[in-house]
């Protein structure tokens, strides 16, 4: 168990420890998929989506602005990759290992950063926390468990009553998706931070509040701080605990079937009965 600062992201992803993203793959795609990708390492990681690239660029712009300037490059207006000039430019960018952003995306990132620091609560939380902690804990039968929020403050700030806190940056099309809880459930943020707060407790930090720093990708690029309450975090950890327990059994037996069960029963959701009644009345 430990809290490590500054571990490169590629090392975090390539380590043997279990993370929330790995748990999500295990739950959604089964034991065999998990084993080929994370144990035997015969399956490659998926390419990053455009949304992930933008999210990482925004995070880098705030946390490590000097590295952001060195790592990202804006595609010049009118640059055509089919021309000789365009091919030379693309080859140079690839050789230097740069990440290409469109001019629109680069401008959007700058506007989002401005909006974030105009939000006094967001600015205070960012200023008083250190970026990129890797929080690890032991779990019987597994090669360790790890969580990596965007920021963690051991001493807290005035806004938190000087309690330690976790802060994570999330870009979204609309704040409502997060404030309503729909986005939290859809993307499993409560699971991510249920695991994070449990790992922190194992490292001596108990009852740590979790804040999402939500920034809109659409104008006017509003930014808002969203705190996850204890019900979210408890439900998130309960899900992680179930997945960790099942995963540990596969590690211990070194058995990785394609599916956990050959047959399952699909239980109709509660809303279906109401929908049927509604359809009958409408008819």
Name all domains of the chain by residue range, CATH numbers in brackets: 1-38+119-253 (3.90.320.10), 48-116 (no CATH)
Q: What interhelical angle do 103-118 and 120-127 show, nearest 10?
A: 90
Report the b/e string of 269-279 with b at 16+ CB within 10 A: eeeeeeeeeee
CB count, 10 Å around CB of 37?
A: 18
Structure tokens at 255: 């058995």
Note the pLDDT tens digit of each residue in 145-173: 999 999 999 999 999 999 999 999 999 99
Report the b/e string of 11-28 with b at 16+ CB within 10 A: ebeebebbbbebbbbbbe
Average pLDDT of the residues in 255-273: 91
pLDDT score recorded for residue 80: 83
Q: Which residues pair with 244 in a beta bridge?
A: none
Structure tokens at 47: 């390419």
pTM of the model: 0.90
Question: Would you say the C-alpha torsion 250, 251, 253, 257 has a positive or negative sign?
Answer: positive
Percentage of the chain lying above the pLDDT 70 cut:
97
pLDDT score recorded for residue 8: 93
In this predicted structure, the answer to whether residue 283 has a pLDDT above a threshold of 70 is no
pLDDT band at 282 (very low <50, low <70, confident <90, very high): low
Structure tokens at 81: 């990759």
Question: Would you say the C-alpha torsion 245, 248, 252, 255 has a positive or negative sign?
Answer: positive
Note the pLDDT tens digit of each residue in 113-136: 999 999 999 999 999 999 999 999
Note the pLDDT tens digit of each residue in 31-64: 999 999 999 999 877 767 788 999 999 999 999 9
Note the pLDDT tens digit of each residue in 183-230: 999 999 999 999 999 999 999 999 999 999 999 999 999 999 999 999
Q: Which residues pair with 131 in a beta bridge?
A: 151
User: How far from 154 is each of 2, 7, 160, 247, CA to CA, in Å?
Assistant: 13, 18, 11, 31
DSSP state string for 44-107: PPPPPPHHHHHHHHHHHHHH-HHHHHHHEEEPPTT--TTSHHHHHHHHHHHHTTPEEE-HHHHH
pLDDT band at 82 (very low <50, low <70, confident <90, very high): confident
In three-state secondary structure terms, 20 is helix
User: How far from 112 is each of 153, 173, 221, 223, 230, CA to CA, in Å?
Assistant: 23, 12, 6, 8, 29
């Amino acid at each position: 168990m430990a809290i490590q600062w500054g571990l490169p992201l590629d090392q975090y992803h390539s380590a043997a420890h279990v993370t929330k993203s790995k748990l999500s793959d295990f739950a959604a795609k089964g034991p065999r998929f998990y084993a080929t990708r994370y144990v035997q390492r015969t399956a490659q990681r998926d390419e990053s989506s455009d949304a992930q690239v933008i999210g990482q660029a925004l995070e880098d712009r705030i946390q490590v602005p000097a590295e952001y300037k060195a790592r990202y490059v804006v595609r010049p207006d009118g640059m055509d990759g089919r021309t000789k000039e365009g091919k030379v430019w693309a080859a140079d960018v690839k050789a230097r290992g740069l990440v290409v952003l469109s001019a629109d995306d680069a401008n959007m990132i700058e506007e989002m950063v401005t909006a974030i620091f105009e939000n006094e609560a967001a600015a205070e939380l960012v200023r008083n926390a250190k970026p990129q902690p890797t929080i690890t804990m032991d779990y019987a039968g597994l090669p360790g468990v790890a969580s990596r929020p965007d920021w963690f403050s051991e001493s807290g700030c005035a806004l938190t009553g000087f309690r330690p806190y976790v802060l994570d940056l999330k870009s979204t099309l609309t704040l409502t998706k997060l404030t309503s809880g729909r986005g939290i459930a859809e993307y499993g943020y409560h699971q991510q931070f249920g695991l994070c707060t449990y790992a922190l407790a194992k490292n001596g930090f108990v009852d740590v509040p979790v804040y999402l720093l939500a920034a809109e990708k659409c104008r006017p690029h509003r930014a808002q701080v969203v705190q996850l309450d204890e019900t979210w975090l408890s439900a998130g950890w309960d899900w992680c605990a179930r997945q960790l327990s099942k995963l540990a059994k596969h590690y211990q037996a070194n058995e990785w079937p394609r599916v956990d069960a050959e047959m399952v029963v699909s239980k109709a959701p509660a809303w279906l009965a109401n929908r049927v009644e509604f359809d009958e009345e409408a008819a």
